[in-house]
Structure 1
Amino acid sequence: MAATLAATLTLGQTALAQGAAPTAKIASGALRGSADGAVVSFKGIPYAAAPVGANRWRSPQPVKAWTGVRDATAYGNDCAQAPFPPDAAPIQTSPREDCLYLNVWKPATAKPGAKLPVVVWIHGGGFVNGGSSPAVYSGHNFARDGVVFVSINYRLGRYGFFAHPGLAAEGLGGNFGFQDQIAALKWVKANIAQFGGDAGQVTVFGESAGGMSMLMLLQAPEAKGLFHRVIVESGGGRATLAQPTMASAARTGERFAPGLTAAQLRALPEDKVTGTLSMMSMGDRGYSGPMLDGRTLLGVAVDAAAAGLMARVPVIIGANSADGFPMVTDKDKIFAAYGADADAARKLYDADGTTSGLQVGTMTSADVMFIEPARLMARTLSARGEKAWIYRFGYPASEMGPAMGGAPHASEIPYAFDTLQLRKGPAPKPEELEVAKQMHRYWVNFIKTGAPDGAGVPAWPLATPTATTVQMLDAAGARHIEDPYTARLNFVERRAEGK
């Protein structure tokens, strides 16, 4: 067996040197990938059995081994979802229920057992949209910089987060999408050495729903030991929304499919389960979202951190300067919602009365959902003796950036990936490329060493239990400064804690 594997890998390396397609041998079979300059990629690799038929609404099942060499030059299907046209990172596949695939990029010179650091990307999309195929999620430039990069799909919407009395009768239901993420990390542990990666040096990172997934992985017992560093981009941390229990999620599931047994649920057509659920219709009465299942989500992230229930690993955490969702833009209505604190809120967010309703709606929602919770998580982890670094991304790149007053939600992603040329919209400006260069370098440093500091980038001090400073990443360059949002964040903290 060992001789056969060594021969397969040697042949793959010889073929690559001759310009032929690169190959790799993993536990489930042989793969044929593609080369692009100094980087090799393998796409559409199944890490679990197709979650269809009898596997629908079950924990991810093992992949069946294949014979021959599997083509790994194209993305596998992203997970079933309804369209979301405004997405700044549109998927490039036809989404399907059969979707548990991952992708690997590595330096072309990386040999099996090379012990390169590994990073795993978990996409956002509100747990109802997204996938690993968007152009800006390419792992090419991480591999260019000496990192083995992995991106994954996980079940979304009602496929990924579902409870129902019919499933409860079989002892099933819960956060299947989170279980998929853990299964993918187990795949990485078992197979990444064949791509030159070090299973003992794995960083996980994600944004929005992916950032929330990071906070889940930090507390999930089954995820312990599968990663060693974490980057949380716009992941929150407080209980800003009511987290359903399994019981309440089952009642929601019953509204979607009243009276059905587990067998009848699994027989539902794919388009019926997918429906119109997307980030434009997340209030769907038949969808609960992630729930407290006692297996992946044990409780509110900051409470788990304070109780010492999170993995003891280095963490980078932060948010964007205009990271909110301005559902209401009428300033009077926004401030009226603060009740007795309305005047205080107005002084903080619209002191001279000239701030637009769009900006006020953006700022108030961003502070509550992402910016203050990131500060709290960094402080809490620091107080527990963990290494944590906090950032604020502030380059107003998109067309909406200036109108919203900063960097909108998710706009930092192509900077972290150094893939600005692949994003939707106009070509990047020279100053943007410099911002991307710095942010990407911080991320690569952290993946390689466990700290973002290093040659070529400004110093980034650790957070403290009472931190009022933040690492700014914007057009003025990276720098560590007193947080200009401190008064706002203190106000949010006081209200959240009922002080």
Structure 2
Amino acid sequence: MAITISSGPIEGTSSDGVDRYLGIPYAAAPVGARRFAGPTPHPGWTEVRDATSFGPTAPQAPYSGALRTLLPSVEIPGDEYLNLNVWAPSGGSDLPVMVWVHGGSLVHGANALDIYDGTAFARDGVVFVSINYRLGAEGFSVIGEAPLNLGLQDVVAALRWVQAEIGVFGGDPSRVTVAGESAGAILLGTLLANRKVSGLFARMILQSGLPAALPRAKAAKISGLMAKRLGIPASRATFAARDASELVATQQAVTAGSTPITGGVSFSIAIGDDLVPTDPLRAVLAGAGDRIPLLIGSNTEEYRLWFVPTGLMSKITAPLFAAARVRFRISRRILDAYKAAHPGASRGELFGVLATDIILRLPLNRIADARLTRMAETYVYEFSWSSTVQALGAAHAMELGFVFDRLDSPDVVAMAGVEAPQQLADDMHGAWVRFVKSGDPGWEKWSSRRPVQTFDAPASQLVYAPHERERAAWK
């Protein structure tokens, strides 16, 4: 099945009422002279281009250690990894569009992962697009004269492609919802704060990630450590002279032991360019993005992905816990509130719950409350279903298989097991489809009653002011 976009003709596949076009370049390959430079338009092609298989993936390494068996990785060689995939209802027109930005701590992930198959969304009347972007050193280095935030620039380039081309696939460019999880949500949340690009989407879904960026000097720390390890200056020329695989190996070495919960050296978005001129969280709290309806939420036990399989839970010593209390200003009153809310919790579990709240749940509530004062539409969810696989519970990324209605995917089974409840997938995927189509996921928008749609089994329900004892203790 062939169609023609601005770059040239492409041929995909069609089955069961869903058209699929995979591996479509949205920008020129970021190699050679275009390495460590902003994305540029693809030169195009004249012959029909095969779009029946996934395109190349960004340079990266698989997850290491205990996470390797839980979090999927895929490596497809090739230079044209700034590509995207489209699943569309056959014969549709003026349909709502959902653009997915994957997570992976800015160093992992790809649109070719089986868990991100968009068939269920297309089945339900949505044109679904999943994108790749530059990762790690290639996408988020802070080096000399090189532009900042290249991976974020890639996301913007992909969204501009969607505006220009999605009509050919039956999508309505005025009805684009952008959605992302973890690092993908951080990237999109940062764009929410920038009025110059907010016209590229009409709605936004942020799963387990919030607007976040560091001052240039702090964001540059990992690039400096990599340069030191390589014995080179931290410049565009010296980094571009190194093979991508060498940079991946070096970033692995300098980030060893770091996690999103416990901290450490990692890549981040940097403040200081046109896309991120100021702290994006402060901008959103001050009103940026208020005209964009927002669906936002987190998982009840985010921390368990990093604490349980790795054995870190038992390694949270009293001195480490005490140091964390000092760093994050956790008073005795706050600690007592958490102990009361989680009776019998171990030191490691309390550490994880506190870290999850500090990093995600508390700022999430601040965003919802700030938007409420200006009557901006906000819907809040929490994913609470507990997986028995390696005692992961409601860990980070556990909701993905339910959002995509992909419970039979090996990527999902690895974390959720073979008996994950289909009703929960029906509930969550259905809510996402409703939000993409209408801006209303099917529950009460944020108000002074603090409504949170809690996704769980055997039944999901709306809960008012969950975890209020812990939240109130921070006041």
Q: CA deviation at 1:89?
A: 4.4
In structure 2, the partner of 1:412 is 399
1:457-496 equivalences in 2 (<5 Å): 460-464=443-447, 466-491=448-473, 493-494=474-475
What CA distance in whole angstroms lies between the structure 2 residues aligned with 1:124 and 1:259?
30
1:426-448 residue CA offsets vs partner (Å, 9 max, x unmatched) = 7643x710011011111000000
| Higher alpha-carbon deviation: 98-107 or 178-187 | 98-107
In structure 2, the partner of 1:445 is 434
What CA distance in whole angstroms lies between the structure 1 residues aligned with 2:290 and 2:41?
26
| Higher alpha-carbon deviation: 115-124 or 345-354 | 345-354
What residue identity is the alignment partner of 2:438? T
Do the aligned partners of residues 388 and 287 (structure 1) sit closer, same or farther apart at CA in structure 2, a change above 3 Å counting? closer
What CA distance in whole angstroms lies between the structure 1 residues aligned with 2:297 and 2:197?
22
1:184-243 residue CA offsets vs partner (Å, 9 max, x unmatched) = 000000000000000010000001101111211201344221100000101135x6xxx4
Q: Counterpart of 1:350 in 2: which secondary structure?
A: helix
What CA distance in whole angstroms lies between the structure 1 residues aligned with 2:241 and 2:131?
26
What residue identity is the alignment partner of 1:246? R
1:79-94 equivalences in 2 (<5 Å): 79-85=58-64, 86=67, 88-94=70-76
In structure 2, the partner of 1:136 is 115
Q: Is the 2:290–2:371 contact (alpha carbons within 8 Å) kept by the matching residues of 1?
A: no
Do the aligned partners of residues 318 and 150 (structure 1) sit closer, same or farther apart at CA in structure 2, a change above 3 Å counting? same
What residue identity is the alignment partner of 1:372? L
1:10-38 residue CA offsets vs partner (Å, 9 max, x unmatched) = xxxxxxxxxxxx22210001111112322
Q: CA deviation at 1:293?
A: 2.5
1:92-131 equivalences in 2 (<5 Å): 92-94=74-76, 98-110=80-92, 114-131=93-110
In structure 2, the partner of 1:145 is 124
| Higher alpha-carbon deviation: 174-183 or 277-286 | 277-286
What CA distance in whole angstroms lies between the structure 2 residues aligned with 1:93 and 1:398?
29
In structure 2, the partner of 1:373 is 363
TM-score, normalised relative to structure 1 = 0.83
Q: CA deviation at 1:488?
A: 1.1
In structure 1, the partner of 2:243 is 269
What CA distance in whole angstroms lies between the structure 2 residues aligned with 1:73 and 1:301?
38
Q: CA deviation at 1:332?
A: 3.4
Q: Radius of gyration: which is bigger?
A: 1
Q: Is the 1:255–1:285 contact (alpha carbons within 8 Å) kept by the matching residues of 2?
A: no
1:226-375 equivalences in 2 (<5 Å): 226-237=200-211, 243-250=213-220, 252-257=222-227, 258-259=232-233, 262-277=236-251, 282=258, 288-310=267-289, 312-324=291-303, 325-326=306-307, 329=314, 330=316, 332-333=318-319, 335-336=321-322, 337-339=324-326, 341=330, 343-351=332-340, 354-375=344-365
Q: Is the 2:148–2:273 contact (alpha carbons within 8 Å) kept by the matching residues of 1?
A: no
1:212-227 equivalences in 2 (<5 Å): 212-227=186-201
Q: Is the 2:195–2:288 contact (alpha carbons within 8 Å) kept by the matching residues of 1?
A: no
Q: CA deviation at 1:282?
A: 4.8
Residue 56 (str. 1) matches residue 30 (str. 2): no
What CA distance in whole angstroms lies between the structure 2 residues aligned with 1:478 and 1:46?
39
1:298-347 residue CA offsets vs partner (Å, 9 max, x unmatched) = 33343112322225110000100101254564363465232584543443
Q: Counterpart of 2:176 in 1: which secondary structure?
A: strand
| Higher alpha-carbon deviation: 86-95 or 407-416 | 86-95
Q: CA deviation at 1:474?
A: 0.5
1:255-307 residue CA offsets vs partner (Å, 9 max, x unmatched) = 43333653343221122222253575558998642111332223334311232
What residue identity is the alignment partner of 1:399? V
Q: CA deviation at 1:472?
A: 0.8
RMSD, matched Cα: 2.5
Q: Is the 1:43–1:102 contact (alpha carbons within 8 Å) kept by the matching residues of 2?
A: yes
Q: Is the 2:106–2:267 contact (alpha carbons within 8 Å) kept by the matching residues of 1?
A: no
Q: CA deviation at 1:164?
A: 1.5
Q: Counterpart of 2:408 in 1: which secondary structure?
A: helix
What residue identity is the alignment partner of 1:232? L
What residue identity is the alignment partner of 2:436? I
Aligned partner of 2:384 among 377, 394, 402:
394
Aligned partner of 1:47 among 26, 36, 39:
26
Q: Is the 2:258–2:265 contact (alpha carbons within 8 Å) kept by the matching residues of 1?
A: no
What CA distance in whole angstroms lies between the structure 1 residues aligned with 2:450 and 2:463?
9
What CA distance in whole angstroms lies between the structure 2 residues aligned with 1:46 and 1:411?
30
Q: CA deviation at 1:349?
A: 3.1
Q: Is the 2:293–2:378 contact (alpha carbons within 8 Å) kept by the matching residues of 1?
A: yes
| Higher alpha-carbon deviation: 304-313 or 345-354 | 345-354
Aligned length: 449
**Structure 1: tracts of 5 or more residues without a match:** 1-21, 454-459, 495-499
What CA distance in whole angstroms lies between the structure 2 residues aligned with 1:366 and 1:427?
24
What residue identity is the alignment partner of 1:228? A
Residue 382 (str. 1) matches residue 364 (str. 2): no
What CA distance in whole angstroms lies between the structure 1 residues aligned with 2:219 and 2:363?
25
Q: Is the 2:214–2:271 contact (alpha carbons within 8 Å) kept by the matching residues of 1?
A: yes
What CA distance in whole angstroms lies between the structure 1 residues aligned with 2:234 and 2:274?
25
What CA distance in whole angstroms lies between the structure 2 residues aligned with 1:260 and 1:461?
50
What residue identity is the alignment partner of 2:459? G
Q: CA deviation at 1:397?
A: 2.4
**Structure 2: tracts of 5 or more residues without a match:** none
Aligned partner of 1:181 among 151, 155, 162:
155
What CA distance in whole angstroms lies between the structure 2 residues aligned with 1:67 and 1:198?
26
Aligned partner of 2:4 among 25, 36, 39:
25
Q: Is the 1:79–1:153 contact (alpha carbons within 8 Å) kept by the matching residues of 2?
A: yes
1:149-168 equivalences in 2 (<5 Å): 149-165=128-144, 168=145
What residue identity is the alignment partner of 1:379? D
What CA distance in whole angstroms lies between the structure 1 residues aligned with 2:137 and 2:27?
19
Do the aligned partners of residues 397 and 221 (structure 1) sit closer, same or farther apart at CA in structure 2, a change above 3 Å counting? same
What residue identity is the alignment partner of 1:332? A
Q: Is the 1:313–1:386 contact (alpha carbons within 8 Å) kept by the matching residues of 2?
A: yes
Q: Is the 1:224–1:311 contact (alpha carbons within 8 Å) kept by the matching residues of 2?
A: no
What CA distance in whole angstroms lies between the structure 2 residues aligned with 1:232 and 1:160?
21
